Amino acid sequence: MHIVTLLKQNPPLCHIEGGSKKRLFQILAETLSQQYPDLTQDAIFEGLTRREKLGSTGIGNGVAIPHCRSAGCAQLIAQVATLAEPIEYDAMDGRAVDIVFLLIAPVEHCQEHLDALAQIAHFFEDAAVRLKLRKAKTRGELLDIALRMAERAPQKSPIHL
């Protein structure tokens, strides 16, 4: 699976009011639980919070990749979002976060989860990707930009399912 496939799964969230990491996780959990009935809002929120306690998923340059594995998840699930204002996130470089790529994986898909994380992190290494995503003003524009950039991005490691 290529990052393009992940991006097409769910409409992006553009300029959401995060406020804090906890509030961001609540918004993401609420949004995805509406799309995936087998995943409850509480399960998503608790999974993201539990993973975050192991170490920050803020990878630097204003980007975070919150992720977890969940028993109610049947396939890799992803959602990209930009925030109206950057939030404190305890990122590796100390910068606040304003771009988020959420990833939820089935419990038994450990390697696929890791492969997807590697591919997503590689995608966000490109400063042009980050800049263009930040400039998007609507959900449609955000999705178009993300898809165009992802289609041109080389796959560092394929996601095997």
113 is catalytic: no
Tokens in use for 54?
A: 């192991």
Q: Distance between CA 158 and CA 83 in Å, rounded?
A: 28
Q: Between the CA of residue 61 and those of 92, 115, 143, what are the distances in Å? A: 9, 21, 20
Q: How many residues are there in the chain? A: 161
Catalytic-labelled residue, pool 2, 15, 67, 122: 67
Taking a C-beta distance cutoff of 8 angstroms, is the pair 117, 76 a contact? Answer: no
Nearest Cα residue to 113 out of 55, 69, 57, 155: 69
Residue 15, by phi and psi: left (phi above 0), alpha (psi -120 to 50) or beta? Answer: left
Q: Between the CA of residue 109 and those of 27, 44, 114, what are the distances in Å? A: 25, 16, 9
Q: Which residues are catalytic?
A: 67
